[in-house]
Amino acid sequence: MSTIVLVHGIAQEQLSADSLEAEWLPALAGGVRTAGHHELADRLWRDSRPSGVTTRMAYYGDRFTDPDAQGSGGRALDDTALDLAALDLAERLSVEWLRTAAEYAADPRDRAEATRRLLNIDGAGEGAQGPAAALRPALNALARLRWFAPFGLGLAGKFVWRAVSQVSSYLTEETVRQCAQDRVLEHVDADTRLVIGHSLGSVVAYEALHRTTGPVSFLTLGSPLGLRSIVYDRLRPAPPRVPDAVSAWTNVVDRDDLVAAHLDLEPYFPPARDSRVVPHTLPFVDNGSAPHSAVNYLTKAAVGRAVAAALS
């Protein structure tokens, strides 16, 4: 059980709870220190005494690599055994990310490329072989964007496929969804004060928090929770609202983070019954050349202030 529970996002299947904790904790402490809370920063990372803050990673990435587990995240794009519902959702997610890039991408070349590709997406895949074939135009288009391809197109294609397939698997495959939420709840008890969810992890954490009593603060980083018709309309319970357990919800986003489709979550999540808590989106942060990086989010003073407020 933990004071802080961390929930990772997409494309972490080659890591582990321990390796992610080793990556996130110094960044988390750094954000708290930058915000001026030096003693708390030491308790988060350097202090092994009883006064230290217990922080654990809820890891579910192995669900996308275990050959005995359900989930399409670790399978090849041409695998015709993929669940058709997940494939359909992955295709739609790819198109939505292209639309977001066409409107919001910081690099004008990405905006132009996404706009051009979107004009050619309609009817793509007609006459192609296999259920995955219709997905290729949108996937290939995403991989061409500089946002997704800082290290080359080959790596971008693999990242994009892992990202869209893992989001789709979570939303369409019940065993994956249940397992991911259970991994979060394994670390949550009466002593838990803060849950931090990044990317897909914010979706997992949001749904898991509907299954606990709290009170707990919620911090979302680069969250796709507001992505209508893809994520938002599939959230449970429906219609979406702030979980009863949540006593404060802070949302942090980089304007250039294409995964975080809708930047302000407040219009989408009304308060729970007898509560006034709604998502509060802070002024946009700048994560530099890696706008979706969890580590870059965690190092920000805005995140540090939210952590300090949750633990005060």
**Is the CB of residue 298 less than 8 Å from the CB of residue 28?**
yes
What pLDDT score was predicted for residue 155?
A: 45
Question: Domains along the chain?
Answer: 4-64+174-311 (3.40.50), 84-171 (no CATH)
Q: How confident is the model at residue 154 (pLDDT cuts 50, 70, 90)?
A: very low
Q: Would the pLDDT of 73 be above 90?
A: no
Which of 207, 25, 117 has the alpha carbon at shortest distance from 109? 117
Which of 40, 61, 62, 44 has the alpha carbon at shortest distance from 53? 44
What pLDDT score was predicted for residue 135?
A: 52
What pLDDT score was predicted for residue 127?
A: 37
What pLDDT score was predicted for residue 51?
A: 60
**Report for 15-19, 96-100, 123-127: range of highest mean pLDDT:** 15-19
Q: Would the pLDDT of 94 be above 50?
A: yes
What pLDDT score was predicted for residue 71?
A: 43
Q: Would the pLDDT of 280 be above 50?
A: yes
Q: Would the pLDDT of 49 be above 90?
A: no
Q: Would the pLDDT of 273 be above 60?
A: yes
Q: Would the pLDDT of 6 be above 50?
A: yes
Q: Would the pLDDT of 76 be above 90?
A: no
Share of the chain above pLDDT 70, in %: 83
First to last CA, the chain: 19
What pLDDT score was predicted for residue 107?
A: 83
The three-state (H, E, C) secondary structure of the chain, written as one string: CCCEEEECCCCCCCCCHHHHHHHHHHHHHHHHHHCCCHHHHHHHHCCCCCCCCCEEEECCHHHHCCCCCCCCCCCCCCCCCCCHHHHHHHHHHHHHHHHHHHHHCCCHHHHHHHHHHHHHHCCCCCCCCCCCHHHHHHHHHHHCCCCCCCCCHHHHHHHHHHHHHHHHHHHHCHHHHHHHHHHHHCCCCCCCCEEEEECHHHHHHHHHHCCCCCCEEEEEECCCCCCCCCCHHHCCCCCCCCCCCEEEEEEECECCCCCCCCCCCHHHCCCCCCCCCCEEECCCECCCCCCCCHHHHHCCHHHHHHHHHHHC
* Mean pLDDT value across residues 177-204: 97
* Mean pLDDT value across residues 176-194: 96
Q: How confident is the model at residue 202 (pLDDT cuts 50, 70, 90)?
A: very high
Give the span between the Cα atoms of 92 and 230, in whole angstroms: 7
**Report for 24-28, 62-66, 143-147: range of highest mean pLDDT:** 24-28
34-48, 118-132, 195-209: range with lowest mean pLDDT:
118-132
* Mean pLDDT value across residues 186-205: 96
What pLDDT score was predicted for residue 158?
A: 66
Q: Would the pLDDT of 238 be above 80?
A: yes
Give, in order, the Cα–Cα distances in Å from 255 to each of 13, 15, 100, 167, 260.
26, 27, 11, 21, 8
Q: How confident is the model at residue 129 (pLDDT cuts 50, 70, 90)?
A: very low
Q: Would the pLDDT of 79 be above 50?
A: no
* Mean pLDDT value across residues 189-198: 96
Q: Would the pLDDT of 72 be above 70?
A: no
Give the span between the Cα atoms of 119 and 156, in whole angstroms: 21
What pLDDT score was predicted for residue 83?
A: 64
Phi, psi angles (nearest 5°) of residue 190: -65, -20
What pLDDT score was predicted for residue 297?
A: 98
Give the span between the Cα atoms of 223 and 185, in whole angstroms: 20
What residues have CB less than 8 Å from 268, skipping those under 6 apart?
225, 226, 232, 240, 262, 279
**Is the CB of residue 221 less than 8 Å from the CB of residue 30?**
no
Q: Would the pLDDT of 112 be above 50?
A: yes
**How high does pLDDT run on average in the chain?**
84
Q: Would the pLDDT of 209 be above 80?
A: yes
